[in-house]
Amino acid sequence: QVQLVESGGGSVQAGGSLRLSCAASGYTFSRYKMGWFRQAPGKEREGVAGLHSDGFTSYADSVKGRFTISQDNAKNTLYLQMNNLKPEDTAMYYCAADPRTWLYRLLVSTDFAYWGQGTQVTVSS
């Protein structure tokens, strides 16, 4: 009964900030690798940021220096702090989780078994 529920999306102007949250339940949160992905209309789903159970993180080149992934194990919640947002960040953002710790890739959607419903982020110029 793994469940992931995203929240925190919305509409902001370029240069603004948002913090996305992913509330997880049904599993040992700290033992899963977690990731954030996004998909814009007409485009492929792409990895944005990932965090392995050992603390290793990875970011897409397009968001390095602007986005930060983190988790609060006590609250079973994953976060994506998004700063200096750009119009090209506009997309549906998805939280993902996977228990297979031997799969070390963090930005590959096919390596994640569980997904949330998504939260929309819209950035205007």
Determine the pLDDT at residue 52: 92
**Backbone phi and psi for residue 72, each to the nearest 5 degrees, phi listed first:** -115, 100
**C-alpha to C-alpha distances, 15 to 9, 80, 95, 119, 124, nearest whole angstrom:** 15, 16, 23, 19, 9
Determine the pLDDT at residue 28: 76
Helix (H, G, I), strand (E, B) or coil at 31: helix
Please write the tens of the pLDDT for every residue from 61-109. 999 999 999 999 889 999 999 999 999 999 999 999 999 878 888 999 9
Determine the pLDDT at residue 73: 87
Determine the pLDDT at residue 8: 98
Determine the pLDDT at residue 54: 87
